[in-house]
Structure 1
Amino acid sequence: MPYISEERGARNSLDYRLFFKNESGQVVSPMHDIPMLAGEGVYNMVVEVPRWSNAKIEIDLKSSLNPLKQDVKKGKLRYVANCFPHHGYIWNYGAIPQTWEDPNHTDPSTNCKGDNDPIDVCEIGQKIHPRGSVVQFKVLGTFALIDEGETDWKIIGIDVTDPLAENLNDIHDVEKLMPGFLTATVEWFKIYKIPDGKPANEFAFDSKPKDREFAENVIAQTNESWKKMMSGEIEAKGTSLVNTTLGNSHSISADDAAAVVSQMLGAAADEPLPADVNKWHYVSLK
């Protein structure tokens, strides 16, 4: 099913939001209403951050219908630093809908609890996907980032329409066809917070990726956690469960969903990016 996006407020502002609509024009939640699977072995990805861009955009779990918004810290919009030679995000970055990394659950493979977010995807294809795109991809593997003591899975995947997709079927194929890319991915996640004064991030499994089968099992587990959260079996930990298509106690009508969007500021011209957004940061792991 194709999805379209509707932006509200100005990009690079605190008021910015991006809502999703299905092909019928009905507002939907990218967290709850877009299905995890697009077909057998094919997953949906909600693109939060296009490759080469810096604005840290994410699904707003706390707000009704979970629009995209820019992350804020200490009242300021967040942009990732350009840690030489990386400019912004080095893949299309986003999330798999209908998944949830349960902060109540300690993962037996990492011995850390989940980070209370949908599972993240690094889509490594050639196309730059616009913010708000819903992309069909196949899973190749996963890294296990340990972010401030929490398990933060980073799924590696490829757009099914990418020219390399036919020959990329598992994590080991990536090094063969894209030598150095997985090493760069590990480095990026280790160093991207250092310019903000934070220590280097750590990975489980000696910073090595796990294969496709392992990754798909992780996704299935986080989908089960999402189902339990939606049913009330697990505490939602502040996540808005409002949806428009699931027909459960958290569902609202199409008119009520449209009213949520209409209460936001109208679309506006982009605010200017910060003057230092293109600054190079020279970071060394020692």
Structure 2
Amino acid sequence: MSFTIEERGRPNTQEYRLFFKNSEGKYISPFHDIPIYANEAENIFHAVVEVPRWTNAKMEIATKDPLNPLKQDVKKGNLRYVANVFPHKGYIWNYGAIPQTWEDPNHKDGDTGCCGDNDPIDICDIGNKVCSRGEIIKVKVLGTLALIDEGETDWKVIVINTEDPEASDFNNIDDVRRLKPGYLEATFDWFKRYKVPDGKPENQFAFNGEFKDRDFAIKTVKSTHEFWKALISKRTNAGELNCMNTSVSDSPFCCSAGDAEAVVNSAHAFGAEDPIPSSVDKWFYYEK
């Protein structure tokens, strides 16, 4: 199963969008049409790379837009870039989401005591390759961190790209601790402090910030897939989310290829990129 991307608008502007196509060249939603499983028997999942490692632009699946293209988050009228909080430069993994998952904001998690954040479940790919924006990778789940973001459960699932030359050595969270010493501590530190330069407090975590193991993480991913199934079949209220899709045959939101094409054609034509503001390279230092 292969996927391609099509850029619209000018990169580094609010009009920029990244649309997805399947192997037949038909437009699809990365939220709803890419299967969660690359290999269900072996618990290998697909993941959509929203933010390549070392970059700062806060790109995300636009869950409220038709076909859910990637776009850059906007805060207070400006494009959002994640600050460099020393010693971190941009995102320290390939960051993205597992398709066909949804953290239900109406479901209070029994472990964290908080409701979901209304997004697909997030992944941090620790593989060596720096992926490209919009790349679809196959990943092994290794563990998860439970971030509590402004009172909502926001799972951060630690994964490794199955095509990584070292992937066979990583099967659980302890392998990350052993083979990439310091990486989990850096991950915790990154999520704890990344909003401080924006004037927000340090983030909180469930489980005292402990990483849960592979089995716990896989169970969590699968539970968010069940919430998505209820969403896409209209058994739960979608609210502002856009569930337009082209392949979920029993979904009342399923649309024709022509309808999907019309969405893409209504977007701005692809053009020259705007420069990234020099302020994005600034480092922030503060006492922990």
Tell whether the 8 Å contact from 1:6 to 1:20 is kept in structure 2 after alignment.
yes
CA drift at 1:237: 2.3
CA drift at 1:28: 0.3
Tell whether the 8 Å contact from 1:81 to 1:192 is kept in structure 2 after alignment.
yes
How big is the alpha-carbon RMSD for the aligned residues of Structure 1 and Structure 2? Answer: 0.7
Cα distance per residue 1:38-86 (max 9 Å; x no partner): 0131100000000000000000011110000000011110000001110
Q: Which residue of 1 aligns with 2:192?
A: 190
SS of the residue corresponding to residue 183 of structure 1 reads: helix
Runs of 4+ in 1 over 6 A off after TM superposition: none
Gaps of at least 5 residues in structure 1 are none
TM-score, with length taken from structure 1? 0.99
In 2, Cα distance between the equivalents of 1:42 and 1:10?
34
Q: Which residue of 1 aligns with 2:269?
A: 266
In 2, Cα distance between the equivalents of 1:205 and 1:71?
29
In 1, Cα distance between the equivalents of 2:227 and 2:43?
20
In 1, Cα distance between the equivalents of 2:213 and 2:84?
29
In 1, Cα distance between the equivalents of 2:227 and 2:273?
37
Alignment of 1:28-43 (within 5 A): 28-39=28-39, 40-43=42-45
Q: Which residue of 2 aligns with 1:284?
A: 287
Alignment length (residue pairs): 285
TM-score, with length taken from structure 2? 0.98
Residue 55 of structure 2, aligned match among 53, 56, 63: 53
Identity of aligned residues (%): 56
> Is 1:238 aligned to residue 271 of structure 2?
no
Residue 254 of structure 2, aligned match among 251, 254, 268: 251
Gaps of at least 5 residues in structure 2 are none
2:167 partner amino acid = A
Tell whether the 8 Å contact from 1:144 to 1:204 is kept in structure 2 after alignment.
yes
Q: Which residue of 2 aligns with 1:103?
A: 105
Q: Which residue of 1 aligns with 2:27?
A: 27
Q: Which residue of 2 aligns with 1:66?
A: 68
Residue 163 of structure 1, aligned match among 162, 165, 186: 165
In 1, Cα distance between the equivalents of 2:31 and 2:188?
26
In 2, Cα distance between the equivalents of 1:237 and 1:51?
32
Q: Which residue of 2 aligns with 1:6?
A: 6
Tell whether the 8 Å contact from 2:5 to 2:18 is kept in structure 1 after alignment.
yes
Tell whether the 8 Å contact from 2:234 to 2:252 is kept in structure 1 after alignment.
no
Q: Which residue of 2 aligns with 1:224?
A: 226
